[in-house]
Amino acid sequence: MGIIRLILTVFHLIIIALLFGTIMNAYIPPSVFGFLNLLSLGFPILIIINIILLLFWIITWKKRAVVFLVVSLFFIIPTRRWINFTPSKKEIPNLKLISLNGKFGKMGDDEIYDFLNKQNPDVVFFQEYDNKKPLDGFKYFENSRPITKIQSKFPIVESGQVRTDANNSVCMSADIRIDNITIRFINIYMEPFFLDKKMVKPSKDMDVNEQKAKKVLHMLIPTFKKHQTQIDQIKDFINASPYPVIVAGDFNAVPNSYEYYKVSEDLQDVFLKVGKGSGTSFHDFKFPLKIDHIFASESIEPISYKVDRSVRISDHFPVIAEFYIK
């Protein structure tokens, strides 16, 4: 039994080290060590293993349980970026934003528009969507690139595109006037990984699984490095904004990744502030992936955040946030 506990202790220490590796994404970019960004994808599994081992030490009344419990406190906020239980605020919002990757309408254009019209948002961010039909009551929209769009019920004072060194990444902005206050809305669509379910689905043949794993790794690490360049350029644009900002979209990056830490500098993660439940937004794979995010300047008050799992109008669930602009 002593040997088993020793093995479990060593294994637990390895898990702790890997979890700390995800935190290091805040300081080490993918161009230096891309493996750390890869760890951020596995954070949900790592934290579940950590909790199971921690419960084991507590149940068996081992002193090391105290040490592992104290160390695990470092992972409370990183875990809350995936699953959170902060109640919505009671203030009445005056802005409702929906961000949705529409998968180019492959699961139904009419279904997307019916859903959005029923939700009655004030601003909508589209990614992977090219339909130019405005929603009910929407007079203003920015559609400079076919892959992204911003629609607004409030006047768009100015709009434009953020230049990035990538062919498959698009970032657009719209300065929107809301009750005499101008907010810069930034819609982000980061470089996709071009993975499909067949590439990640396990096979009974271990040699095939090994080849699949190598192929996926060779696709992930270079994309992380592309993301680094893109997000650095986008962050410079965010920092240069003369107005408060709301930044949202399909980041193709999970919480605790380099991309997440970079864009969240000096901004509040709306899910972390007022999110409730799981933030997982991409449901095409069985593995949990939270790659759609919403951030806002500190001067903007988040009221609620919801990932709407009641509809499957895309391979992404719609992300809905409400704010009070004062």
Domain assignments of the chain as residue spans, ordered by start: 2-80, 84-324
* The model's pTM: 0.91
pLDDT value, residue 212: 56
Q: Which amino acid is at 28?
A: I
Q: Evaluate whether 308 touches 279 at the Cβ level (below 8 Å).
A: no
Tokens found for residue 64: 């090391």
Range with the poorest average pLDDT among 122-126, 195-199, 256-260, 281-285: 195-199
Q: Are the CB atoms for 282 and 254 separated by under 8 Å? A: no
How confident is residue 103, by pLDDT bands cut at 50, 70 and 90? Answer: confident
Average pLDDT over residues 299-324: 94
What is the per-residue pLDDT for 53? 94
**pLDDT of 187 strictly over 60:** yes
The mean pLDDT value for 252-279 works out to: 95
pLDDT classification of 260: cutoffs 50, 70, 90: very high
The chain-wide mean pLDDT, for the chain, equals: 88
| pLDDT surpassing 80 at residue 51 | yes
Report, as an integer, the average pLDDT of 313-323.
Answer: 95
Question: Pairing between strand 245-250 and 292-296?
Answer: antiparallel
For the cut 80, the answer to whether the pLDDT of residue 199 exceeds it is no
What percentage of residues in the chain have a pLDDT greater than 90?
Answer: 61
Q: In the predicted model, is pLDDT for residue 97 greater than 80?
A: yes
pLDDT of res. 34: 85
Whether 209 shows a pLDDT value over 60: the answer reads: no
More reliable by pLDDT, 192 or 130: 192
Confidence of residue 207 (pLDDT cuts 50, 70, 90): low
Tell me the C-alpha distance between 281 and 43, whole Å.
Answer: 16
Average pLDDT over residues 285-314: 92
- Tokens 């439940």 correspond to 277
pLDDT band, very low/low/confident/very high, at 110 (cuts 50, 70, 90): confident
Examine the pLDDT at 167 and tell me if it is beyond 80: no
Q: Spell out the SS3 assignment of the chain.
A: CHHHHHHHHHHHHHHHHHHHHHHHHHCCCHHHHCHHHHHHHCHHHHHHHHHHHHHHHHHCCCCHHHHHHHHHHHHHHHHHCCEEECCCCCCCCCEEEEEEECHHHCCCHHHHHHHHHHHCCCEEEEECCCCCCCCCCCCEEECCCCCEEEEECCCEEEEEEECCCCCCCEEEEEEEEECCEEEEEEEEECCCCCCCHHHHCCCCCHHHHHHHHHHHHHHHHHHHHHHHHHHHHHHHHHHCCCCCEEEEEECCCCCCCHHHHHHHCCCEEHHHHHEEEECCCECCCCCCECCEEEEECCCCEEEEEEECCCCCCCCECCEEEEEECC
User: Looking at residues 154-163, what average pLDDT do you find?
Assistant: 88
Q: Do 307 and 272 meet the contact criterion of CB atoms below 8 Å apart? A: no
What distances in angstroms separate CA 52 from CA 18, 67, 70, 72, 73, one per listed residue? 16, 15, 15, 12, 15
pLDDT at 44 exceeding the cut of 80: yes
Beta bridge partners of 324: 301
Q: Which residue has the tokens 């139904």?
A: 108
pLDDT of 91 strictly over 90: no
Check residue 217 and give its pLDDT: 66
Q: Is the pLDDT of residue 10 over 90?
A: yes
In this structure, which topology does domain 84-324 adopt according to CATH?
Deoxyribonuclease I; Chain A (3.60.10)
